[in-house]
Structures are given as C-alpha cells and as structure tokens.
Amino acid sequence: MQTKKTSRPQHAVSRELLREKARLIRLETLRMTDICGSGHYGSSFSMAEIVAALYYRFMHVRAGEPQWPDRDRFTMGKGHAAIGLFPVLSDLGFFPQTWLDNYTRFKSPLGDHPDMKKVPGVDFSSGSIGHNLSVSVGMALGTRRRGSPARTVCLMGDGEQTEGQVWEAAISGAHWGLDNLVGIVDINAAGSDGDPQETMKTEPLRAKWEAFGWRTFVLADGHDLDAVSATLQAALNEPDGRPTCVLAYTVSGKGVSFMEHGWQWHLGFLGPKDLQQAYKEVLEGSVG
Amino acid sequence: MTADLSRWTPQPRAAGVTYISAEAKATLDLSESRVQGLADEATWDMATSLGLSPQLTTGAVLGDLVEQGHDIVVCTADLGRPTQVIGFGRKYPDRYFNFGIAERNMIGAAAGLATTGHIAVISNYSFFLALMGVENIRNDICYPGLNVRMIGTHSGIAMGFYGTSHHCNEDIGALRAIAGLTVMAPCDGMAIRAAFTNTIAHHGPVYLRAGRGREKPVYSAPPNFRIGGSNTLREGKHATVLAIGNLVSASLDAAEILAAEGIELGVVDMYSIAPIDKEAIHRAAVAHGVVITAEEHNVSAGFGSAVAEVMAEEGLAATLVRIGMPDQYSLLGPPTHLYCHYGLDAEGVAASVRKVLRKGVGKGLA
C-alpha cells in the first residue's frame, strides 16, 4: 500500500505562547505533586517544551471528539511523566481543570501514569516501560491502512532504550516504512537508579537508531523552542519513507535551579517552603 | 500568565499523603541526596526515598548471607534503589548486576548466573518481574530448576495512584501454576529476612511476594519460615483467618476489634502459598466449619483459590469466604483509601468476619 502524504499544517502560534504553555506544564506539575505527595518532576520538566510544541503547534486533535479517527496520536513510553501531559489535555478542553485539582485522590481518573480508559485525550495507557513504541507501530500501520493523514508520536525515555521491545518495534517500524511514525527520546539522564548511561550504557543512540533504519535527528537542546519546532517540522511534515527518531537532549528538572541535572529529582516531593521557591523560579524564569 | 496565580501556592496536606519522617531520614546515607540545603524537612528526592520503605530488608539480609559464605549475586532492572538492594551493590559491586530497564534480559541472565553455581537473586517490582517475565521465569528458571530467588516487591495495590500498570493482583495466579516454583509471601521486613535465610539451602527456584516496604510490621524478630509452613499468630474459637502479606497485620487488628464484641478470631500467617500448609487449612475447617482467607490479590487464582483446592480435594465440609480483590481492576487513589474501599484493612476484615458469623455460616457464634 502506498504511503499517504501525512504532512499537516502547523497551527499559527508564537514562540511566546509555547513558552507559556511549557510554563503551565511546570507550574501544574509542581501543584499536582503537592496534591499527591510525590511526583516525577524531573521527567515532566525535561519534556515540557517538546510536549508544548507538539500539542499547540503540530498535532491535530479535537477535544470535543477525542476518538476522532484522523487525530494525530501521542503515546508515552515514559508514562511516569503523565503529570506533564494532563495539564495540556485539560487546557485544550479534553477534561475540566477540576480533574487536575483532584489528581491521584481516591477514584481520580488521573494517576501517576496515563490511562486511556479513564482520561479523554490519552491515546494509550502506559506505565510499563518499553511497550508503547510497539503500540505506536500498530497505530501507524492501522491509520496508514485507513488512508488517514494521522501521525503517531511516541515519547520515550532514555532509560527505556534498554528495553528489548523498543528495538523489536524499531525493526518493524523500519521494515514497514512507517513515515507516519515519530519516536522521540527524551534524554534527560535521570532514572530510578541514576543516569541510565551509568546504569546500562545505550549510547551511541544515533548510530543505533540509524542502523535500525530510522531517519534520526539530534536535538541538541530540547528546551530551545525554535530548535524543537524546526526538528518536529522535519520529523512530522517532511516524510521520506522511513520512521523518524528524534534524540532530544534535555535537562531533568529544567526550570527549577535546585532540581536541574542529575537523577535525584526523577521522583520526589517538595515541602511548602521549597515549593514556594520552585513556583517563583518557574513563574519568573524564561525557559524555552 | 493569564491564569489565577493563587493556584500556584502551597496547599495544606491532603489526606492519605505519605511524608518522610525525620527519624527515617536520620537513618539514611544522604551523601548523594540534593535535599541538603533546601528549606523543608518534608522535602525528599530519590536518594531520600529509601526511608519511605523500611520493611524492604532484602539488601541487608543478602549482605549478611554473603558474609556467612553464601555465593550470592543480585540482579535488578533499574530498581536497585526502590527495592533496596542498592546498599548491597555498593558493598559488593562485583556481586551486583543492574540491567537497566530490561526485565526479560535480567531474568535470563539470572538463570545463566545460576548455572555457574551462584545463588542468583532478582529484586524487582512484582508487576514487571512476575507479570512481564512469566514466560522467561517458566522456561529459563523453573523448567531447569535453577537456584534463583526472586523477590517481587510493591505487590497488590500498594502503588495506589500509580495506576493499573503498577498494580499486581495476578502474580500468585500466574506463578503458582508453574511446576517446581516455590511461592511464598513474607509479610514484613523480619519475614523477608527469615524467608531468604531459612531457604538458603533449598536448591531450586523461589518467588517471594513482598509489599511496598511501608507495611505495619507483624514480627519483632525473624519468624519461623519454612517451605510449606505457616505461623499461627492468634487462636480464636469462632473463626480463623488464613492471611498473607498485608492482610496478616490487618487480620490481627481485626481480631482486636472483634474481641471487643465478643468474637474470638484466630489469625494464621500462611506465608507459604505453593506448597501450602494443608494441616493449617484442615484445622481451621474442622474447628469452625468456615474458612476465611485474606489476600491483596485477585480472589480468582490466588491464595484463597489455593485453599479452595485443598478443601475440595480433602473433602473438608466447610464454607470458604475469600477476602481479597474482586475480579476487576482497582480504582486509583492513595493506598489507604483503596484498602478501605476494598475491605482489605482491619475494619474491612472485621466487617467480613462479622457478616459471615452473624449469618450463621459454619458453626457461627455458638
């Protein structure tokens, strides 16, 4: 079957708007972690600019029709960063802000990981690392068969690159020439046991993804919104018959000085005085 | 920002939120932590998070066993810190293998290590170890009968709001069907210590189903713990709860609640699930005409089902009441709220027992 052109127009948004949306992701991550008692600050902050650019500039979705067949899909290999996705879905109108206010409380649809059965706008559940690139291969095959212009984007973690299933998915994505499929690796150097490169080295990732048949872009600064947008434009709107991998080098905890770099704030909790300081830095900061 | 900035101010503590205590912090090596210099006692990061799970004693006991001359190696999949074997890794770096997030690779490699004469121990979250890895466990570890110890932590719904991917109400069902695999459930840190220590001479695969490490302790010293055994913790003339894991302490507390109402409830820690202590089941059935099981697992195919098999095959004339997770996926929420909702806390167990006995099931309250 012929690959259908899957280029789609960008939404006309300014860099300043994307910067404010990334700020919203960080502020709400801080607030919701305060409600919950623990949270993945590092993972949410590292992906904030990428997620803001995807949802507000590139992806075509309909908040009033979450199951719209031609929607672009977003799946998370790194499902523990869902706390940074939920504010975006709420802001876009998929569900009311009161859901965020009740994050992780009893019977909440919003937990630490995204749940497709509970949350409109979540295209697939996640939480077990390594599953969702395979799921995304299936989505890309399915939307292509249907002749849909939909693209599927899977955001993975750098620690996730050790999962064998990721590479099984990579082989199949290249085999079937899925140029409607984009994998993004958020390389934030933070995992449960430390920097994934120290726990189990996976670099050089560019050589690996290229060897597996993926067009591979290196995004040297995953927080520079102009660079993020330029790379996503090429990845999503200039298909060349291969799946695309974006290796996004980011900073865990980006935007709060005492959380930046290192693995320690992959998961944690801020007491009220430290939280006050974090809010201040995000509100006054200029990341993006 | 156009939004109301008042949203982004610290709020009062919510119910069910766990905070680290100053006492727990004081016991930790915080040399890698980045909370030092910050303003709040309540603040914690990954390096501090170990203090939240004091019942996960795996690393400490394995270190003691190495000192006694046992040739142990430890494997994990980027969960050395959350399952608390990272201290073992620091002390014995040549005996510690962290595979990154690659569970099936880890299981196969543990099998390979066991073929070279090591006691290979896997320490990982139960859902990723037992549910993701079940086929590797069967083919690579159990069929060859290799000397691998697996401890699957954070079982049941202990991970609460982390969601369905992080709940594990199926591991007993999946694993007790595997021939040659011993399945046991140490209910606290002392029981974990006893489980590793007392089975060290057993040659063959063992799966230990453990909690999150935040459990209320049952034992103040390492208890009796043997393959196929059980511990009777309380005698009761009206009924006996056969419990595993978190439900042992919940049942003991339920017995206290019921004692005030004149109901005498016995409690047995049935830590060995496969093989199971048939004598303990026999005693409970004959004495009361009703057997009550309690587990943080799907009641289908779990511990209560194992008890049912024994009762049916032995022809024990007693009614079985299974307390546990219904055959559905758990709601999300703080674990304490979920335990309350599903009747898996002391009040819940007490309510189940009360209902059974007041209905006159078995010998009732006679």
A:7-46 residues touching chain B, CB 8 A cutoff: 20, 23-24, 27, 30-31, 34-38
Query: Contact A110/A99 with Cβ under 8 angstroms?
Result: yes
Q: What percent of chain A has pLDDT over 70?
A: 99
CB contact under 8 A, B163 and A262: no
Domain architecture of chain A: domains with CATH: 15-284 (3.40.50.970)
**Strand B239-243 vs strand B290-298: parallel, antiparallel, or unpaired?**
parallel
Task: Give how far Cα B53 sits from Cα of A222, B27, B350, Å.
Answer: 35, 12, 27
**How many interface pairs between A and B have CB atoms less than 8 angstroms apart?**
184
Q: Tell me what pLDDT residue A236 has.
A: 98
Q: How would residue A1 be classed by pLDDT, with cut points 50, 70 and 90?
A: very low
Q: Tell me what pLDDT residue A13 has.
A: 98
B181-233 pLDDT, tens digit per residue, is 999 999 999 999 999 999 999 999 999 999 999 999 999 999 999 999 999 99
Q: Tell me what pLDDT residue B1 has.
A: 55
CB contact under 8 A, A199 and B98: yes
Q: How far apart are CA B209 and CA B224, in angstroms?
A: 17
Interface test with B, best of A25, A27, A269 (most B CBs within 10 A): A269
Q: How far apart are CA B75 and CA B107, in angstroms?
A: 8
Average pLDDT score, chain A = 97
Question: Which chain B positions have a beta carbon within 8 Å of A283's beta carbon?
Answer: 1, 5, 8
Q: How would residue B20 be classed by pLDDT, with cut points 50, 70 and 90?
A: confident
> Looking at the predicted structure, is the pLDDT value of residue B24 above 90?
no
Nearest CA to CA, how far is A20 from chain B (Å)? Answer: 7
- Partner A contacted by B10 (CB < 8 A): yes
Query: Contact B298/B270 with Cβ under 8 angstroms?
Result: no
Q: Tell me what pLDDT residue B22 has.
A: 81
Give the 3-state secondary structure percentages of chain A, helix then strand then coil, rounded to 5.
45, 10, 45
> Looking at the predicted structure, is the pLDDT value of residue A3 above 50?
no
Query: Contact A143/A75 with Cβ under 8 angstroms?
Result: no
- Partner A contacted by B334 (CB < 8 A): yes
Give the 3-state secondary structure percentages of chain B, helix then strand then coil, rounded to 5.
35, 15, 45
Q: How would residue B363 be classed by pLDDT, with cut points 50, 70 and 90?
A: confident
CB contact under 8 A, A106 and B333: yes
B144-184 pLDDT, tens digit per residue, is 999 999 999 999 999 999 999 999 999 999 999 999 999 99
> Looking at the predicted structure, is the pLDDT value of residue A182 above 60?
yes
Which DSSP symbol is given to A269? B
| Strand order, beta sheet including B182-184 | B96-98, B72-76, B119-125, B148-153, B206-209, B182-184, B272-274
Q: Tell me what pLDDT residue B102 has.
A: 98
Interface test with B, best of A35, A86, A91, A200 (most B CBs within 10 A): A200
Query: Contact A139/A72 with Cβ under 8 angstroms?
Result: no
B:105-124 residues touching chain A, CB 8 A cutoff: 105
Rounded average pLDDT over B268-276:
98
Nearest CA to CA, how far is A283 from chain B (Å)? Answer: 8
Q: Tell me what pLDDT residue A169 has.
A: 98
In Å, how far from its chain's centre is CA A85? Answer: 8
Structure tokens at A33: 């972690």
> Looking at the predicted structure, is the pLDDT value of residue B366 above 80?
no
Closest CA to A54 of A185, A225, A173: A225
Query: Contact B274/B146 with Cβ under 8 angstroms?
Result: no
Q: How far apart are CA A195 and CA A261, in angstroms?
A: 10
B/e letters for A49-84, b = 16+ CB within 10 Å, e = fewer, are: bbbbbbbbbbbebeeeebeeeebbbbbbbbbbbbbb
- Strand ranges inside B77-145, DSSP E: 96-98, 119-125
Query: Contact B72/A184 with Cβ under 8 angstroms?
Result: no
Rounded average pLDDT over B357-365:
86
Q: Tell me what pLDDT residue B2 has.
A: 53
Average pLDDT score, chain B = 95
Query: Contact B211/B187 with Cβ under 8 angstroms?
Result: yes
Q: Tell me what pLDDT residue B11 has.
A: 82
Q: Tell me what pLDDT residue A6 has.
A: 81
Rounded average pLDDT over B288-309:
97
Shortest CA distance from B127: residue in chain A: A128
Q: Tell me what pLDDT residue B36 has.
A: 85
Query: Contact B181/B130 with Cβ under 8 angstroms?
Result: no
Structure tokens at A64: 């009033």
**Strand B272-274 vs strand B265-269: parallel, antiparallel, or unpaired?**
unpaired
> Looking at the predicted structure, is the pLDDT value of residue B93 above 50?
yes
Please list, in sequence order, all residues whose beta carbon lies within 8 angstroms of the beta carbon of residue B15, skipping any fewer than 6 positions away.
B334, B337
> Looking at the predicted structure, is the pLDDT value of residue B100 above 60?
yes
A89-141 pLDDT, tens digit per residue, is 999 999 999 999 999 999 999 999 999 999 999 999 999 999 999 999 999 99
Domain architecture of chain B: domains with CATH: 53-209 (3.40.50.970), 231-358 (3.40.50.920)
Residue with tokens 């939240």: B52
Shortest CA distance from A23: residue in chain B: B1
Closest CA to B296 of B342, B241, B337: B342
CB contact under 8 A, B7 and A275: no
Task: Give how far Cα A197 sits from Cα of A159, A161, B175, Å.
Answer: 8, 10, 33
- Partner A contacted by B203 (CB < 8 A): no
A218-267 pLDDT, tens digit per residue, is 999 999 999 999 999 999 999 999 999 999 999 999 999 999 999 999 99
